[in-house]
Structure 1
Amino acid sequence: MQARRNRDLQDQTADANVFRVGLESKGKGDVSEKESSSDFLATFLTEIGKAKLLTREEEIELSRRVKKSVELQNLRARVSEELGREATHAEWAKAQGCSVYSLRRKLREGELARHKLLATNLRLVVSVAKKYLRCGVELSDLVAAGTMGLSKGVEKFDPNRGYKLSTYVHWWIRQAVTRAVADHSRTIRLPVHVHETLGRLRRAKAQLASEGEIANVKNLANTLGLSERKIDNVLKLKYKTRSMNEEVSPNNRMEEGSTMDNFIADPDAETRPWKELEADFLQANVKNVLLDQLDPRERDIIRLRFGFGRTDGRTMTLDVISQRYGVSRERIRQLETVAVRKLKLLSQGKELHRYCY
């Protein structure tokens, strides 16, 4: 009996090592930075393929060992809470009613059983992760997140309910992967439920296309049972943000090192030079008229109010000008009105009116 148990432990240790190699293979040296996602997937599948598939009886037995280990960990947490400190192995074993040796053996068996269940279900993790490859997260990160979900599912699995482990943990894997996509696929994070709605929209579009229907907002709303307004709002969120400093792949038309910022159109590129030229022309005309037709005080008030003759183009308020001349604000307004009226009556008044207002 003891010899059989030792052989089981050796087999579980070997499979656990396969599990560790599969997860750590991308962390050796600079492999993770140099290998593409396809290379990583091939390496990972090769490693996890070494783990033997389990029979139904083996799966149940290993799951029971894991469940027992989880119960022991929960027991230690309760004992530690009662003591107000971390319980020792002796106190832990006493609460369980067994020896320290027996306690450690059960923990060891549970840990090895957990690793074996993980190793034999990593194919399922890869299968789920591959469905989210185009969501902006690297495959290695998706697999890592899915493995965490698998681990949680293995610990919560109850073999006495009659379900297969793979059926139960599939939900945990998918939840972990979709959460990773929601958290890391975008610069501006979207809530998980929005990502789920976007996924439903993609599937609905594919369904409508297969039926020969147009995937417009109305048809999508009818298919998903959502309002057209919500569909429209969610569709606006499908576009991803991109850095203005992101380099554009060079080709025969682009220089190497070109960024997104170099390719944004200037809406005023065509008209700006002409506008600046027109402004300079009007400025010169106004200056000539002011010098020739207005008295010094009117000329000064107009210059201060409209910023004529100043390199920075700054203007002054009626209050500031009134303090400068030592008269009321209303008097400055009257003088300004008279000066503007004179400008309108001049032969160049049409052009100047367009500039003054």
Structure 2
Amino acid sequence: MTQAVPQAPPREELSHDFFPVLPSLVLRSTRGNYDIYIRSDDSFALYAKAGDSFTEHHERILLNSGRKNVYIRHDQRPEYFDHITSHLGETLLDEKIPRPTRAQLFYETSLEIVEEIFTEELPPGIDRGEFNRVFEFVTKGVSFLTLENSLKTMGSIIAHDYQTYSHSLHVFVYSQLILQTYSFAERDMVQFGLGAILHDIGKRMIPEAILNKPGTLTTIEREHINTHPVHGAGVCARLPLSQDALNCILFHHEKLDGSGYPCGLKEPDIPLPVRAVTIADIYDAIRSSRPYSDGTDAFRTLRIMKEEMPTQIDMNVFKRFIQILSGNGII
């Protein structure tokens, strides 16, 4: 790769036209279809052209010069994330990259993938290309989350401002960590992960005015919201998902005492992976800020769950979740 001679950027290339990226996240020895810029005050100079190979030598030059970030144009954001996603597995397990950096990569790439699915316009089905991206991400994410202290590393990154897509990512992370404490095969963990990350996909069928309403829902609006598990199962019906994954999508609002929906299932009929997803779902929902309410801290969220839902959630699974949060310094 030949380092480009910094050039004066066109006048229209202002700071809002670019987004920052850590040099270590410009994947070494690969060729991305996007330009890389360096910044000096409010000016941006081309550092590497699309198609050039970014090496460890170039990264070291940047770091030695005190540059903490390089920049990519917003109009090339899709190309950047396509490139990152295609190399995600090897990057997440690359011990040469600091773990906090890999955690940030995992979180930001995940949000990009999940947001794309949840903001897709009608028709509501997920096409095979979208599913393949999610499957690849979940498979690699399952491996990354087995690394020691993965949640502790991500603790400062997870933002508790509620969006359906970020919430789905959090539920994936928390439920995976719970289910890791059991002896499931990796292929099963991947299916549980798919169910967790797609558990709210049916909300694509619910009007945003209802989802984001800054106040109490009417009875009709609440009934509309409560259809999202069934819609979700319908959206995913033709995808190569196991019954375990579909159960997580369809039953994540069921409660052990039969007070949940859509089927009013009771304890014997609610599978363990669903119970884990339910606990992760409730925890993140209470923890996060919404248009109509502020979020709560982790300790108070757990207290609410323990005191107000003892007959609704699996308390043995809940205790494991508390141990995970405690072991990772969250509480």
TM-score between the two structures when normalised by the length of structure 2: 0.24
User: Whose strand fraction is larger, Structure 1's or Structure 2's?
Assistant: 2
User: Whose helix fraction is larger, Structure 1's or Structure 2's?
Assistant: 1
Q: Rg larger in 1 or in 2? A: 1
Taking CA–CA contacts closer than 8 Å with sequence separation of 6 or more, which of the two structures ends up with the larger relative contact order? 2
TM-score between the two structures when normalised by the length of structure 1: 0.23
